[in-house]
Amino acid sequence: MTEKQQRFHAAYPGSFFLTSEEPELLGEFLKNIGWISPDETITLIEKPGEGNMNYVLRVRTDRQSFIVKQSRPWVEKYPQLDAPIERIVVEAQFYDALSEVGELQDFIPALKGFRAEHFIMAVEDLGKASDFTNIYNKSVQISPTELTDLVGFISGLHQVSAAEIREPFPDNQELKELNAEHIFNYPYLEDNGFDLDSVQAGLQALAMTYKQDEALKKKIKSLGKIYLGKGDTLLQGDYYPGSWLRTAAGTKIIDPEFAYLGRAEFDMGVLVAHLKMAQTDDAVIEAGLIHYKRIGQNFDHGLFAGFCGAEILRRIIGLAQLPLDLSLEEKGYLLTWAAESVLNPQMNTFMKTDTSDISRSTTLRNHD
C-alpha cells in the first residue's frame, strides 16, 4: 500500500481508492457500482494526462470508454498541500446543472456517474484531446474561432439562472479560501519559501517591487475579500488554458471544481489575464470579447481589471507557475501592466463599454 493510499484510507476507511496499480480491484468496484456490466471486460486503464487537482484515469472496455476522476484531501500535483475533498461534489453538480442548458451542454463532457461516498465521478471520454496551454508558446496563437467559442461558453454560463440549477449550488468556500491564499496573499509574502530564481534568474528581485508595494497589496487584499464573498452568477472558477480542451468535436471546458456563485468579473479577468500572458494580440482579444453578453448593467469594469491584474501577478510571482515563453524583461512589462490594472483600472481597456462604465466601478473603493 502506497503512502497516499494509507493517508487516504486513514481519513476515509470506507471509501474506494482509485489507482491504476490495482486493475482487478478497479474492475470489481466499477461492476459493483453499476458503471460497467458484470460481463464487460476492461481492456485498458491509463492516465489521460497529469491531473493537477485530482487523480484521473481513462477506462476502456470492450464496449465503452470513459474517464474516472477522484478527489483526495490534497492537491494531486502537490500532495503536501491540503485541499477540500468535497470539491468533486462541486464538479459533478456543475456538469449536472449544465446538462440541462441546451447551448452549453455540447461544451462539457457528459456526466456518466457520481458516487459521493467514494469522492468519484465518471464523465464522457472526449477522446484524443489537448489543452490550450501551448498558447503560452509564442509560436502558437489561439484562433479567432476558438476564442469565440471560449467567450461564448462563459457568456452563456454567466446567464444561467438559479431556476436552471435544480439543487442549491455549493458555496465551495473551503476551496475558494485555498485559492484566495494563492492569488491574494502568498505571492506578496516577502519570504514565502519559494525562490523565484529557480524559475528564472532575476525573477526574485523583480518580484520584490510588488511584494513591497503597500498600495498594491491593499488593493489586492480588497479583491480577495470580494472573491471570498457571495454572488449570484455561476462561475467556472478557474477559466484558464488548462481547463480548455481541443477535441475532434470542438472546444470543450473541463475541471470546474473551483465553480461557485460569485462575480462574473472574476472569470472574465482570469480569461483576459491568460490571453495577455500568452501574448495574444490585443485586437484579437477585443474581437473575441465582443461575444460576451453583459448581464444588465451589473458588470463592474474596475473589478474585472483588478482580478485580471491579480491573476497575472500571482502566475508570475506566485507558486502556480505556467510554461510562459517570456524573457525576464517581458515578464517585467506584464507585471507593470498587471499592477497598473489593479491600481488604475481605467488603463485596462478590455471589457469597457464607454466612459460611464468607469464611473460605475465603485466596488473596490467600497471595500478599501
CATH topology classification for 130-367? Aminoglycoside 3'-phosphotransferase; Chain: A, domain 2 (3.90.1200)
Give the pLDDT of residue 355: 33
Are 128 and 249 in contact by the 8 Å Cβ rule? The answer is no
pLDDT digits (tens, 9 = 90+) for 63-111: 999 999 999 999 998 899 899 999 999 999 999 999 989 999 999 999 9
pLDDT band at residue 367 using 50, 70 and 90 as cut-offs: low
The pLDDT, as a whole number, for residue 358 is 38
The CATH class for the domain spanning 3-124 reads alpha beta
Confidence of residue 251 (pLDDT cuts 50, 70, 90): very high
pTM (predicted TM-score): 0.92
Instruction: Return the pLDDT at 52.
Output: 84
Encode pLDDT of 299-311 as tens digits: 999 999 999 999 9
Reported as a pLDDT band with limits 50, 70 and 90, residue 296 is: low
Residue in the block written with cell 463599454: 353
Torsion, CA 363, CA 208, CA 322, CA 200, rounded to 10: 170
Q: Domain locations in the chain?
A: 3-124, 130-367
| Arithmetic mean of pLDDT, 52-57 | 94
